[in-house]
Copies of this chain bind each other. A is one copy, B any other.
Amino acid sequence: MPKKVITFGEVMMRLSPPGYEKFAQANSLDLVYGGGEANVAISCAYLGMKAAHVTRFPDNALGKAATQFLRKHWLSTEHVIYGDNMIGKYFLEKGAVHRSSEVIYEREGSSFSLIKPKMIDWENVLKDADWFHWTGITPAISEGAAKTCLDAVKTAKKMGIKVSGDINSRDNMWKYGKTMQEVIPELVQNCDIVITSTRGIREMFGLGESGDKFGVGAKQLMDTFPKIQKVVGKTRKSLSASHQQIQGKMWNGEEYIKTKMLNITHVIDRVGTGDAFASGLIYGLLHYDDDLQALNFASAACALKHTVPGDVNMVSLENVISLMKGDTSGAIRR
């Protein structure tokens, strides 16, 4: 019986010029949909889990099309709600080597940002779930989104469902009057698993030291929020837009674990790789007894996502396991 994960967050229309074209060159824009939390759910579904995503779309043909995207990628969409008129969007211009990818967000006034807490019946949504996942983007969007997220986290906790939060956020995303320092802690204190970075721990909670001391900050975070069982992160080395290196790391309360560095020499699509890591971590923690194996699984999932166009990690369980076991050859499968 596959495990079931529930995620909650905004799903945006992603519009990007073909190939490496600049915005001003494009006569058409490639269209997919994505959002940190839905990306996690979809990746889990491709790994064989059951997954549903909760979000709010405009009540028009674009909201329908976005829902169809989620359905196509194996999600249950029975808890998607509809209202208002604008779908969140991001425009992505893909870079290479020294040229950065550029992202322009258009989320203000979106149907999701206008969500209100009572719109979702979380007890019903979560009734047969094994895991709930949220990210630090959602509470930054609007007060309604933040409160709805908090309801979800508390309900999940109360129902005994594992909760993970990928709490990375940026100060400049918080525009509705609250700061991340005010809002995130209450969410984090109900989490079992926190995905973050040394810098995230320092900026959000004033914990940890400068330098790459992830273990120190993670330990202090767990001291502060004792329900947290694992603090997980990854080291990304950006040699260029086309060449990235990834290493998973985890403080599980007992030991500080690191994976081997994976070397992604020809990046196809860098977006959503953190979400692939999170989904790999969820899968790994649910299916392996050993934290290092779970972390290796997460890192392998993350590395593979760099080669899949779009936001979501469509690779199979078999693909991830093969890389996790050390086969980096990419040899043709016939």
Contacts and interface: CB of A to CB of B under 8 A. Distances in A.
Given A98-B330, A101-B332, A240-B328, A68 B73 contact: yes
Given A306-B97, A314-B22, A332-B270, A265 B242 contact: yes
B64 A24 contact: yes
Q: Report copies per complex.
A: 6
Contact of A98 (B15, B24, B25, B323): B323
Contacts of A308: 20, 22, 99
B18 A28 contact: yes
Nearest to A271: B332
Contacts of A329: 100, 238-241
Contact of A319 (B20, B99, B330): B99
B96 A307 contact: yes
Interface string A54-80: 000000111011001101111000000
Interface stretch (A103-111, A117-125, A158-166, A251-259): A103-111
Contacts of A64: 23-24
Contact of A85 (B73, B96, B102, B108): B108
Interface string A175-218: 00000000000000000000000000000000000000000000
Interface in A297-319: 300, 303-304, 306-310, 314-315, 319
A61 B23 contact: yes
Contact of A99 (B61, B99, B315): B315
A238 B332 CA distance: 10
A31 interface: yes
A49 interface: no
A331 interface: yes
Contacts of A331: 100, 238, 241
29 contacts: A15-B15, A18-B28, A20-B307, A21-B309, A24-B68, A24-B73, A27-B30, A28-B28, A29-B29, A29-B31, A61-B102, A62-B104, A69-B72, A71-B71, A97-B265, A97-B303, A97-B307, A98-B262, A98-B300, A98-B323, A99-B308, A100-B329, A101-B332, A101-B333, A103-B333, A105-B334, A240-B265, A241-B329, A241-B330
Given A20-B308, A71-B72, 17 more contacts: A18-B28, A22-B61, A22-B308, A23-B62, A26-B31, A27-B27, A28-B30, A97-B330, A98-B323, A99-B308, A100-B332, A101-B330, A108-B109, A238-B330, A240-B265, A242-B330, A270-B332
